[in-house]
Structures are given as structure tokens and as C-alpha cells.
Amino acid sequence: MAWLICALLMRSVENNTERIRQSPDIVLTESRPRKKNCLAKQSTWQNSPWIVRARPLPSHDKYPMKMKLASQGLLIVAVPLVFELVFVGVLAKLLIQAEKAREQEFHAKLIIMSTSALAALFYRAGELMITEARSRDPDFSKLSLIKTRIRSELSQLIGLGTNPNEKELINRILLAGQKEIAFLDEVQGELEKGDNETPILLLTKKDTYRRAQVVMNQLVTELGALALSVRDVDQESPRRLARLRLDVERWLMVGVVLNVLMALFVALVFSRQIVRRVNIIADNSLKFACSQKLNPPLPDFDEISNLDRLFHSMTMAVSSATEKERAILENTADVICSLSARGKILKINQASLQFVNYSPEELVGRNIADLIQGEDLAKVRESLREIEAGKNGSSFECRLATRDGNMIETLWTVNWSAHESEFFCVVHDQTKRKQMDSLKQEFIEMISHDLRTPLNSTRGILELMVRGAFGGMPQNAVDKAKVAVANTNLLITLVNELLDLDRLESGKMPMHFKNITLAPIIETAMDTVANIAESKGIEIEASASYASVFGDQYRLAQVLTNLLSNALKYAPEGSVVSIAVVEAEKTVEVRVSDKGKGIPKELHQSIFDRYRQVEIADANQRGGSGLGLSIAKAIVELHGGEIGVDSDEGTGSTFWFRIPCATEEAEHAPVDQSLAS
């Protein structure tokens, strides 16, 4: 079987050798300079003067063995395995023959030794018989011992017969030996009787000597015949063993040589077919990196072909995604660029033309410092160093100079890549936002000066009218004046909240931190909302507390007032709103509870957003701007605390805020602090 497979493989190789030589698939070509920026970074093997390239895809007839890799691997294993089995079988046969020859030689030697021993024992028995016959006082103990040994040798000789001829000769020897032993017993018996005659005369008289010679000659003849039957085997065995040993050595040498040649042959046949196609895939990867056209797909018949097909599909998907990303990057309104560690512009998209009136071609290679306003340059360099070291966030602001000398406000979002040693930046133009912020600030200042002052004057006049300072007025007019006072207060509250929110956002709200007790803060807040509670018949209960916190007394009173106002707004008439203080190891928690309709769980977080109320109708029915809770949250967070709500629909709500306790270290901290610090 092995020789048949080898012959078929040899025939296949002979038929295809010339064709393979004329069109090899793997060639060494001298590398040529590539296009600039073909690859962002080339590896060491790409810088070699020689590059392995795959020729265009061979036709299907260049792949004579169209099998799966698993089948090819099985064939690679099966061919040497079959050869090894045949080789081992031949060696086993030779070894078996050698073992048989050795056994035959040993068997022949045993027979020869046994026949020689029997002959010697019989001769010794005859000599002892004659010796004792000549003695006047015969002793047959030695003769009895020899007879015992003769019987033992005869019994061993019976087991040595391996073929009919040997068995027949052994049977005849056995019969002759038994006759000889019987004769010896007979002579021994007569000698022991004596009959008043000397033993030697007795032997002569009975013609014993002649009879002994006849039996002995018969026995020797049979023993000689048996020895002659195995003598040829004994003499031929060494030569036969030598021939078998030589055959084994030759087979071992031939087997090793053929095994090595077959392994090289099989490896060459299959590796050439595999390597040539793997090199085609490798060449495709290089072409894909250089944005060149790929080789045609390999014929689909094994796993390498499937890999090539998947590689083509992957390149198509990657190319499509790359085109989409390129389209997005080129059409985005923000500048996207990469900078070297020294600030050199490596890549930049087309948005630079709208930003600074420079095309990407004009900016690549220049340093970003050429575009940054002088006083911002040191801040930008420091920010980049901190981002590279991982010590700061990834955003900063700076001004960029355009080609025509104008300045634009920009927000940079930067990420550092240690692997690429580059900064990847997204630059957003916030010039318009800055302008809007400036307009908003002007609007807030206008509200502060041009709106709040007239409102305060209007409220004062209306309050004097309600008190009758301008003389008697009809009750209907007094009622209308009271409504006007309430609406004016709402407007003033809204203006104040807008101003507070702007200060919080801009970091300009003054904060005066010190160790303070909560009792006066709770009292101030209760006094502030006392009129609202009285108008709805709601009682405010507060537990006695001597807890101390580190914070701004006025702003904490504002937080508690906002929470109480919110609770009174939703609490039913005649109910109770409670204030509780819970002290912990490092914090103090203030809780404001009401018996209102509650807040759904999905609104527990968003309720603190600006202009957010539980229901849209609440703004019309209960009033309020929706800014009180967001302002309270911002103030609490400035204190390093947190704020939240525990509530279920229909069971009321408990708003709480938690701030740090008073400490000796905090007492010695600076008194005036602000959000900006």
C-alpha cells in the first residue's frame, strides 16, 4: 500500500515538476521606493532590500490536490504511517525468522547434548558393571545412581521432539534405553545372587557380555542417528543468523533513508502548495495597506481559500467604513487633527479652511504655535504637557489666529496616544457661544439693574397701598393690590433665582465657609415660609438640633428655604411638614418631609434639573419657576455634599441634603471662598 501511494505521488510530481519550475509562485524581487505616506509606519521586514511577493493568482490546474487542509494533513500523516507499518512489518518478519533460527539452533544443541550425555552414561554404566563383576565384593550404588540419571535424561529427551522424524528416533532411543536398563537390572540381579560363582565367571557363562554389546550398539546407533538429524541445523544456524542480521541492518539503513526522503518529499509537495497561497494573502495585506488592488480570490477548496475570501470581504468592509469615516471627517464642522509631541501638525481635515482660512496642505508640517495667540501659547503648552503626563483633563480653551488676522475662540478636546506618540485633537469653534455668553451676561446685568430695581419700587408702592398709606380705598382695590404684590414677589423671586443660577454657572457666587450650627439656619428658613404655611393651615415641625456644619449660613438657609417652599407647595392643607436632622460620623443630614402626592421613582434624578417639575400643570396651578431645586443642588455640591429625594407616589416625599460636619481644621480654613476657587 505504501509503495503504491509513493509511486502515485512520484508520478504526480514528475508530471508537474516542469510546469512548477516554469511558473513559480514565490519570487524574490528587489524592493523599490514606495509612495510617500503609503504606510503610516513600516515594520522592519518592509525596510528590507528584498521582499517576498506573490505573483498573480495561478490558474486552477496549478493546484492538483484540491483538498481541505485537514484532508491534506491526514494524507501527510497517512503516507509515512503506511510506509512505517510496512517497514516495521518487514523488520518484524526478519526478527521472527532470526528468533526461529536461534530456537532451532538451541534445540539442536539440546538434542546433541542430551544424546552425548546418554551415550556417556550408558558407557559409564557398562564400565561400572564390569568393574563390579571383577570385584569380590561388588557395590552397585554408583550403578543405581547412573541408572537414575539415565531415566532422567530419557524423560527430558522425550520433550525435545519437534517433528515426526525426531519423535520416531526418540521413541526408538527410548525403547533401546529401556532394554539397556532392563539388561543392567538383570545382570545386577544375577551378580547379587552369586550362586557360589565369581561374578566375572557368571558374566562369561551367561553370555552376558555379548548381549550387552548388542544392546549397546543398538542404542549408540539410535543416538547417532538422532544427533546426525540435527547436526545440519546446528551447523547451518550461525550462517543463517548472520544472513538475517545483515538483512536487518540493510533494511534499517534503507528504511531510514526512504523515511527521510519521503518526509522531505511530502513536506515539499504540500508546503509549496500552502506557502504559495499564504504568500498571496500576505501580498494582499501589503497591497491593502498601500491602497493597491488586491490579487484575485483564490479558488475555494480549503481553509486557506476561505481565509482569502474572508480577507477580501474584510477589505471591502474596511474600505467602505474608511470611506464613510473620511466623508464624516472631511465634512464635519470641527477641526480634527493629530499633533506630534512637539506640536507639529501631522494630519488635519478640510474644516481648517473654514476655521483659519488655511488649507490642510498649508498646515501639515507647521507647528500649532504658529496659529495660537501669544498669551495663550504658554497655557496650551502646559495643558499638552499635563495631558501627555496624564495629570490633567483632556480639554482646554485657546484663541487661534486666522489668515486675515482675526481671532476665534476654540475649545480643544485632546487625547494622547503613547503608542503613536501623537496628540489626537478635536477643535470646536465656540466664538458664537462666547458671544452668546457675553450677550447673556449683559442681559443678566440688565435684569439686575433695569428690572429688579423697578420691581422692588413697584412692590413697595403696592404694599403701602394695601396698608392704606394713601388713604382709604375700596376693598376691591385692596384685594387687587394684594394680588399685584404677590405677583411682584414672584417676579422678584424669579429674577433672584436667575441671577443666582448665573452666578453658580460662572463661578462668581460668593461663599463664606465657617463652622456654624444648624439651629439658626432652620429658624431662618421657617420664618421665611411662615406666611405661606399659615395661609394653607400647614404646621411646620422641627426637631431640636445642636449639630454643627462647615458651610455658608446664608446659602444653606436658601437651600432649606427652597426645600420647605417645595414641600408647602405640594402638601395638602392642614397637614404637617417636618424637619429632621440626622448626625453621622463625618456628615450631617437635613430631611424635609411632607404628605403630598409623592414623586415617581423615574423622576428622582431629573427633578433637580432646571425648569423641571413633577407635572407640567404644576407651574400653572402652584406657581414656581422650576429653578429652586437645581439651585439647591448646586449650592449643596459647592459644600462637598449631596442632595436627593425619597418618595413613592401617593405617600409623600422626603427631600434631604447631606454636608460635612464642622471640624477644627475647617475652622482655620480661609473664610471667603467661591466656586471659582
Which DSSP string do the residues of 492-523 spell out, in sequence order?
HHHHHHHHHHHHHHHT--EEE-EEEESHHHHH
Looking at per-residue pLDDT, the higher value among 67 and 153 belongs to 153
Asked whether residue 103 falls in the same domain as residue 149, the answer is: yes
pLDDT digits (tens, 9 = 90+) for 502-512: 777 766 677 88
Asked whether residue 252 falls in the same domain as residue 378, the answer is: no
What confidence category does residue 657 fall into, taking pLDDT thresholds of 50, 70 and 90?
Answer: very high
Q: Are 658 and 645 in contact (CB under 8 A)?
A: no
Most confident stretch, 80-89, 132-141, 363-372: 363-372
Assigned domain for 160 exists:
yes
pLDDT at 63 over 70: no
Most confident stretch, 220-229, 241-250, 493-502: 241-250
What pLDDT shows up at residue 411?
A: 92
What pLDDT shows up at residue 654?
A: 92
Asked whether residue 336 falls in the same domain as residue 354, the answer is: yes
Q: For residue 46, what are the CA distances in angstroms to 30, 57, 395?
A: 11, 22, 38
What pLDDT shows up at residue 57?
A: 42
What pLDDT shows up at residue 576?
A: 92
Assigned domain for 356 exists:
yes
What confidence category does residue 577 fall into, taking pLDDT thresholds of 50, 70 and 90?
Answer: very high
Assigned domain for 72 exists:
no
Assigned domain for 294 exists:
no
Q: Report the pLDDT averaged over residues 207-222.
A: 68
Assigned domain for 280 exists:
no
- 351: domain CATH number is 3.30.450.20
Looking at per-residue pLDDT, the higher value among 111 and 536 belongs to 536
What pLDDT shows up at residue 327?
A: 76
pLDDT at 35 over 60: no
What pLDDT shows up at residue 66?
A: 64
Dihedral angle sign, alpha carbons of residues 319, 320, 323, 324: negative
Task: Quickly list H helices, 135-163.
Answer: 141-158
What pLDDT shows up at residue 105?
A: 75
- 126: domain CATH number is 1.20.120.240
Asked whether residue 516 falls in the same domain as residue 650, the answer is: yes
Q: What cell was used for 45?
A: 521586514
Please state the φ and ψ torsions of residue 410, each to the nearest 5 degrees. Answer: -130, 150
Asked whether residue 406 falls in the same domain as residue 346, the answer is: yes
Most confident stretch, 131-135, 273-277, 523-527: 523-527
Asked whether residue 348 falls in the same domain as residue 472, the answer is: no
CB atoms within 10 A of CB 367: 14
Q: Are 276 and 25 in contact (CB under 8 A)?
A: yes
What confidence category does residue 549 fall into, taking pLDDT thresholds of 50, 70 and 90?
Answer: very high
Q: Report the pLDDT averaged over residues 531-540.
A: 88
pLDDT digits (tens, 9 = 90+) for 609-639: 766 665 544 544 555 567 788 888 888 988 8
What confidence category does residue 642 fall into, taking pLDDT thresholds of 50, 70 and 90?
Answer: very high
Asked whether residue 109 falls in the same domain as residue 215, the answer is: yes
Q: Are 199 and 132 in contact (CB under 8 A)?
A: yes
What pLDDT shows up at residue 614?
A: 58
Give SS3 for 65: coil
- 582: domain CATH number is 3.30.565.10
Asked whether residue 127 falls in the same domain as residue 207, the answer is: yes
pLDDT at 166 over 70: yes
Asked whether residue 437 falls in the same domain as residue 527, the answer is: no
Assigned domain for 70 exists:
no
What pLDDT shows up at residue 578?
A: 93
What pLDDT shows up at residue 48?
A: 37
| Residues near 357 by beta carbon (within 8 Å), at least 6 away in sequence | 402, 403, 404
Q: How long a stretch of residues is the chain?
A: 677
Question: Per-residue DSSP letters for 565-628?
Answer: HHHHHHSPTT-EEEEEEEE-SSEEEEEEEE-SS---GGGTTGGGSTT--SSTTHHHHT---S-H
Q: Report the pLDDT averaged over residues 541-550.
A: 87
CA distance 276 to 52: 10
pLDDT digits (tens, 9 = 90+) for 302-355: 778 888 888 888 888 888 887 887 777 777 888 999 999 889 999 998 888 888
Residue holding cell 532590500? 49
Assigned domain for 58 exists:
no
Q: Which of 461-465, 595-599, 626-630, 665-669 has the weakest average pLDDT?
A: 665-669
What confidence category does residue 556 fall into, taking pLDDT thresholds of 50, 70 and 90?
Answer: very high
Most confident stretch, 344-353, 441-450, 480-489: 344-353
3-class secondary structure for 46-60?
HHCCEEEEECCCCCH
What pLDDT shows up at residue 539?
A: 92
Cα angle 193-198-199, degrees, rounded to a multiple of 5: 65
Asked whether residue 474 falls in the same domain as residue 538, the answer is: no
User: Which amino acid appears at position 437 of this protein?
Assistant: D
The residue range of the domain holding 443 is 432-506
Assigned domain for 627 exists:
yes
Given 200, 234, 257, the domain boundary residue is 257
Q: What cell was used for 192?
A: 547379587
Closest CA to 556 of 583, 519, 593: 519
CA distance 526 to 534: 11
Mean predicted lDDT score pLDDT of the chain: 76
What confidence category does residue 560 fall into, taking pLDDT thresholds of 50, 70 and 90?
Answer: very high
pLDDT over 90 percentage in the chain: 13
Predicted TM-score (pTM) of the model is 0.42
What pLDDT shows up at residue 611?
A: 63
Q: Report the pLDDT averaged over residues 229-240.
A: 71
CA distance 205 to 215: 18
**Number of domains into which the chain is organized:** 5
Please state the φ and ψ torsions of residue 211, each to the nearest 5 degrees. Answer: -65, -40
What pLDDT shows up at residue 65?
A: 53
Asked whether residue 109 falls in the same domain as residue 243, the answer is: yes
Given 446, 476, 506, the domain boundary residue is 506
Asked whether residue 188 falls in the same domain as residue 107, the answer is: yes
Sheet holding 422-429, edge to edge: 345-348, 335-340, 422-429, 407-417, 395-401
What pLDDT shows up at residue 464?
A: 82
pLDDT at 675 over 60: no
